[in-house]
């Protein structure tokens, strides 16, 4: 019996030794040399990124031993550790988060059938548990050796992401190349953070573009951060390097609930909720002179801290997160320093998507208005400004979170409700004494209503000024709107923070019940 026990013990020890050997081998991924190449390019390996991102000792890996089943084109002899993607869960600042981190050192992190299955399992696991999902993208693209299996795996992933959308926050970190079909899954997530020097995204790379179209263009120009953070508006946040990218992701997560079943996390603050600020001094004398809306934002939010999204794209509108008395709040504000704060196609798209995200995840919304209207002209009309502009109206009217609007100066025409007013769904609208709220500016109104009278007057210029003043005094002021109940109060600008916090207090348990429907048919 002793001999049998010794044999069993030896067999067990061999099994444990085999497990240890297999694990250590896979954990090496592409090996020390490949990791060293990553470091030379200023990048971390996938496992280093995970170690940096998660609270120490909290990460649990899922699917370490998953392996592809392809035999064609030499794949039967090709080992791809962990299928080129590390999946699992752990805690970030004390809250559970799920991750899928592609590893470029393992067959260039290419996306194949089982790579895709691991991604899908991670997203579904995150959705079922009500935990945010983070994709760390760094891949050479589709694994062509797997043919239709790779193609079908993309479909599984896209569907999993879409079904999780609005249930859990999804954040994509673009830390390496992400081209072709591979680029779709990060772009379908809620936010995309791209590293400046190593993150690239595009529907096709420069070589393929040249082959198919004849266009010669560099990878940086075609797929770098300037292409997407500035031009296309697909990159929400730009990071300097891997560490900065991971840090910014943690910052963003701090504003978000873990799922749509929770409120966003409120934190303690020693910033007086009724703190006064001299905001009126920021306003120029003339209503059409620009000022910097960022100065207003930083003066009214907790500790002056504002986390901006899409800050380099459609700069006439500002979107981002801040806190009021510890509460996360989404801010949508016009920027008079850029295109006079007009709403155009890009600004409408940018704001509407942000509004819808905040509404999906129970984050109150605040607008700061100074907008002369939607941008007009042939290029905007032909580009579909009416359709794109209407997205804002859908977003506001659909929203059920607390909605607060502050009108600083101009609130004209369609922008009046495009930037949130009572009629489109605001819970509270407060105006500064400098506010101008009417269908169009006095100059425009007078030129239409009194056109004939002005033309026939002995002194047309004097008549024009007289009629402009008359119209302005009658309609272009906040008190007429307040008389009608369209504005809840005309407030001292110094008390703006106080009124916002009191409004948020009163709306803490806001509940909206509406008739059943699948969703609104927003004009995409």
Active-site positions?
Answer: 180-181, 414-415
| Helix, strand or coil, per DSSP, at residue 103 | coil
Contact 328, 337 (CB under 8 A): no
The beta strands (E) that lie in 18-75 are given as 60-62
Q: Output the six-digit token pair for 283.
A: 């306003």
Q: Output the six-digit token pair for 514.
A: 């509406």
Q: What gap in Å lies between CA 103 and CA 85, rounded to an integer? A: 6
Q: Output the six-digit token pair for 484.
A: 């009608």
* 196: Cα separation from own chain's centroid: 17
| Helix, strand or coil, per DSSP, at residue 171 | strand
β-pairing, 133-137 vs 95-102, is parallel
Total residue length of the chain: 524
- For 279, list phi and psi in degrees, rounded to 5: -95, -25
The pairs formed by 202-205 with CB atoms below 8 angstroms and a separation of 24 or more are 202/227, 203/179, 204/179, 204/180, 205/177, 205/179, 205/180
Which DSSP symbol is given to 92? E
Give the residue among 81, 94, 91, 12 at the shortest CA–CA distance from 46.
81
Q: Output the six-digit token pair for 193.
A: 């953070």
Q: Output the six-digit token pair for 410.
A: 């101009």
Which DSSP symbol is given to 217? -
Contact 252, 189 (CB under 8 A): no
- For 468, list phi and psi in degrees, rounded to 5: -60, -45
Give the residue among 177, 231, 233 at the shortest CA–CA distance from 204.
177
Give the residue among 492, 493, 451 at the shortest CA–CA distance from 471.
451
């Amino acid at each position: 019996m002793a001999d049998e026990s010794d044999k069993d013990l030896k067999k067990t020890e061999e099994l444990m030794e085999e497990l240890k050997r297999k694990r250590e081998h896979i954990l090496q991924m592409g090996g020390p040399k490949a990791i060293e190449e990553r470091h030379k390019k200023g990048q971390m390996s996938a496992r280093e990124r995970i170690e940096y991102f998660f609270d120490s000792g909290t990460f649990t890996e899922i699917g370490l031993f998953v392996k592809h089943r392809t035999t064609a084109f030499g794949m039967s002899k090709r080992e791809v550790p962990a299928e080129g993607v590390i999946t699992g869960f752990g805690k970030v600042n004390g809250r559970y988060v799920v991750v899928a981190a592609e590893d470029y050192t393992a067959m260039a992190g290419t996306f194949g059938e089982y790579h895709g299955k691991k991604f899908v399992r991670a997203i579904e696991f995150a959705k079922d548990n009500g935990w945010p999902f983070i994709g760390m993208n760094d891949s050479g693209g589709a694994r062509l050796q797997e043919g239709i299996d790779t193609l079908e795996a993309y479909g599984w992933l896209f569907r999993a992401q879409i079904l999780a959308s609005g249930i859990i926050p999804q954040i994509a970190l673009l830390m390496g190349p992400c081209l072709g079909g591979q680029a779709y899954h990060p772009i379908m997530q809620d936010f995309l953070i791209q590293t400046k020097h190593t993150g690239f995204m595009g529907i096709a790379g420069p070589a393929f573009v040249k082959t198919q179209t004849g266009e010669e263009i560099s990878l940086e120009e075609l797929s770098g951060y300037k292409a997407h953070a500035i031009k296309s508006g697909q990159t929400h946040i730009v990071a300097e390097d891997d560490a900065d990218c991971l840090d910014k992701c943690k910052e963003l997560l701090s504003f978000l609930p873990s799922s749509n079943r929770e409120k966003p996390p409120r934190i303690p603050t020693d910033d007086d909720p009724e703190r006064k600020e001299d905001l009126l001094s920021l306003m120029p004398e003339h209503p059409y002179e620009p000022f910097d809306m960022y100065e207003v934002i930083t003066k009214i939010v907790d500790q002056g801290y504002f986390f901006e999204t899409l800050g380099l794209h459609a700069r006439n509108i500002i979107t981002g997160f801040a806190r009021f008395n510890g509460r996360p709040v989404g801010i949508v504000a016009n920027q008079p320093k850029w295109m006079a704060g007009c709403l155009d196609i890009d600004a409408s798209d940018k704001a509407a998507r942000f509004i819808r995200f905040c509404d999906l995840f129970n984050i109150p919304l605040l607008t700061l208005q100074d907008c002369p209207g939607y941008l007009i002209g042939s290029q905007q009309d032909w580009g579909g400004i009416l359709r794109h502009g209407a997205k804002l109206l859908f977003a506001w009217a659909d929203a059920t979170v607390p909605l607060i609007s502050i009108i600083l100066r101009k609130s004209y025409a369609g922008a009046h409700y495009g930037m949130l007013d009572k009629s489109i769904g605001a819970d509270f609208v407060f105006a500064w004494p400098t506010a101008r709220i009417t269908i169009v500016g006095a100059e425009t109104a007078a030129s239409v209503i009194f056109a004939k009278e002005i033309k026939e007057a002995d002194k047309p210029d004097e008549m024009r000024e007289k009629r402009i003043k008359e119209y302005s005094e009658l309609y272009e002021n906040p008190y007429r709107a307040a008389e009608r109940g369209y504005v809840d109060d005309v407030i001292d600008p110094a008390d703006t923070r106080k009124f916002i916090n009191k409004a948020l207090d009163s709306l803490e348990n806001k509940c909206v019940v509406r008739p059943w429907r699948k969703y609104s048919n927003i004009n995409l």
